[in-house]
Structure 1
Amino acid sequence: MLSVCRSVLPKGGRLYSRRGGITMSSEIELKPCPHCGEEPIVLWTDGNMVCRVECTWCEVRGPAATVESKAVDGWNALPRALVWSSEPPTEPGFWWWELCGHRGVDLIQDPEKRVVRDYRAKWAGPIPEPKEAK
């Protein structure tokens, strides 16, 4: 299993995985990788109590933490890419649209009154609002 992960687990470490002989606790819910979107993700803890979530396909790693639950929360909080859909917006916000090779962003205040109404349009959103600087 460790060879599949392409990472060296420190002596005394523990590994949980969604594939192979070592299983992840059913209580742990991990989102797909924010970079490649794949599901095979591992949560590992080294002998020094550093926990981290890692994608076994593209090797993207989440933030390190001293507690496994914090490592999982850090991974799940990583921003994920928006996905194009043929379904029109269902909630207010800024939405990307694509139609006939053209793209733009519209503020949708009422999904029933959107500017782009063509059935061929693709949508992605809503785009999350930025956080205020501290």
Structure 2
Amino acid sequence: MKKSLPWIALFLITACNQSPVPREMSALEVMGQINNDFCLLVDIREKGSFTKTAAPSIWIPFTDIEKNQHDLPKLLPSNIQDKTVVIFSDNPDLSIKACQLLMKTKYKCNYLKSFSDWENNNLPTRPVTF
């Protein structure tokens, strides 16, 4: 038992230092979560880089999330404590990074692969006005 204690300690230290890993969700799965009021869909694309978005989403550019990472509650609606935030952009790596920032602040977060996944499933969209 004494020989295994250092290995257990090393495992725990390593596990605690790793960033949380969000889960990729399909567009249909996200829509089901929205219909049951289980998640909030957030478009993190930058202003001017798109002309339409998922109809039920809110828009918070990634740069705002990154800039305000220590005060994220001011960017998000106050009624989402029990919901999962689902992030999307045209870059899955950026979506994962945004999720990791949110998860550090104790939000539950997953990501949609891309907006094109949403469109390819003929889910509702709306034009964007800035």
TM interval, shorter chain, is under 0.3
Give the structure-1-normalised TM-score: 0.23
The structure, 1 or 2, with the larger RCO (C-alpha pairs under 8 Å, 6+ apart) is 2
Say which structure is richer in strand: 1
TM-score normalised to structure 2 length: 0.23
